[in-house]
């Protein structure tokens, strides 16, 4: 299903409330909430609202375990462009999550250790009972996570090569495309698909044409987000601008 909100602020608040409702319902059962998280500009409003809810309503994140979708490779966790820093600044530093419960792909590994790392990332998710909720943005290549065009629907966590358009879109953060890493570690399409609920968010006119392809286009590896049409558990949440090309 597709839900269109008047603006991204209202939409982000709805998504944040879905997340805290999940956290609280798990707390009542004495269980953990297992969340799949995204970076980029799209989820920033959701994270801001989660921080507000934590501070003003006192909802605790002590029972929350998180797995981020991706990280650039190579990337130091202390580098300002790292997704580790992004997550700390936008969310983790402002809530009471136990940092031992936070998982982000490791951009510092020697290349020969990446394969085992990726398998253990998948295994940890599975051993915890799987992701309760995965949130996603969408890249202009149609990527989800960093599953660029050509990604297989059953792909797992792995090292990938970033699309040129993705690197161009990231160039501002890095002060030039030549400084953007050429690779990343990302959860696979198959990893994402196992989540019990998936919410893909998109805001702004800039995303309108890729959203049209993702939601209404033929399912194909050329636009990996089209695979989401195959899942019963996906909701596309967008603002009016991102929805403007939908029929």
Binding site for ligand F6R (CB under 6 A): 38-42, 69-70, 137-139, 143-146
In whole angstroms, the minimum distance from the beta carbon of 139 to ligand F6R comes to: 4
Residue 111 in contact with residue 44, Cβ under 8 Å? no
134 vs 90: CA distance, rounded Å: 17
Q: What separation in angstroms does the CA of 29 have from each of 22, 34, 35, 50, 126? A: 11, 14, 17, 21, 20
Tell me the residue number closest to ligand F6R, measured at CB.
137
In whole angstroms, the minimum distance from the beta carbon of 200 to ligand F6R comes to 9
| Closest to ligand F6R by CB, 61 or 203 | 203
Q: How far is the CB of 126 from ligand F6R (least distance, A)?
A: 20
Q: How far is the CB of 242 from ligand F6R (least distance, A)?
A: 10
- CB of residue 16 to ligand F6R, shortest distance in Å: 16
Residue indicated by tokens 């953990």 = 32
Nearest to 184 by CA among 148, 151, 159: 159
Q: Rank residues 45 and 63 by Cβ distance to ligand F6R and give the closer one.
A: 45
CA–CA distance, 191 with 145 (Å, rounded to integer): 10
- Complex with ligand F6R: residue 42 or 191, whichever CB lies closer: 42
CB 228 within 8 A of CB 195: no
Judged by CB, which is closer to ligand F6R: 101, or 134? Answer: 134
Gyration radius (Cα) of the chain, Å: 17
Nearer to ligand F6R (CB atom), residue 59 or residue 86: 86
Supply 124's token pair.
Answer: 């940890």
């Amino acid at each position: 299903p597709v839900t269109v909100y008047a603006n991204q602020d209202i939409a982000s608040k709805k998504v944040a409330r879905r997340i805290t409702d999940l956290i609280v319902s798990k707390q009542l059962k004495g269980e953990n909430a297992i969340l799949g998280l995204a970076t980029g500009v799209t989820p920033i409003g959701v994270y801001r609202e989660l921080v507000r809810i934590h501070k003003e309503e006192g909802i605790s994140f002590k029972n929350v375990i998180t797995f981020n979708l991706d990280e650039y490779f190579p990337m130091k966790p202390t580098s300002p462009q790292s997704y580790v820093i992004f997550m700390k600044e936008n969310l983790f530093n402002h809530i009471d999550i136990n940092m031992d419960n936070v998982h982000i792909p490791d951009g510092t590994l020697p290349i020969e250790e990446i394969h085992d790392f990726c398998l253990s990332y998948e295994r940890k998710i599975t051993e915890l009972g799987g992701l309760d909720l995965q949130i996603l943005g969408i890249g202009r290549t149609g990527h989800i996570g960093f599953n660029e065009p050509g990604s297989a629907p059953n792909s797992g966590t792995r090292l990938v090569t970033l699309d040129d358009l993705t690197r161009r879109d990231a160039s501002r953060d890095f002060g030039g495309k030549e400084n953007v890493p050429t690779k990343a570690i990302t959860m696979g399409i198959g990893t994402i698909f196992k989540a019990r609920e998936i919410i893909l968010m998109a805001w702004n006119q800039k995303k309108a044409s890729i959203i049209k392809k993702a939601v209404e286009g033929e399912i194909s590896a050329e636009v990996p987000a089209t695979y989401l049409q195959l899942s019963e558990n996906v909701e596309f949440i967008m603002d009016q601008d991102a929805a403007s090309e939908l029929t």
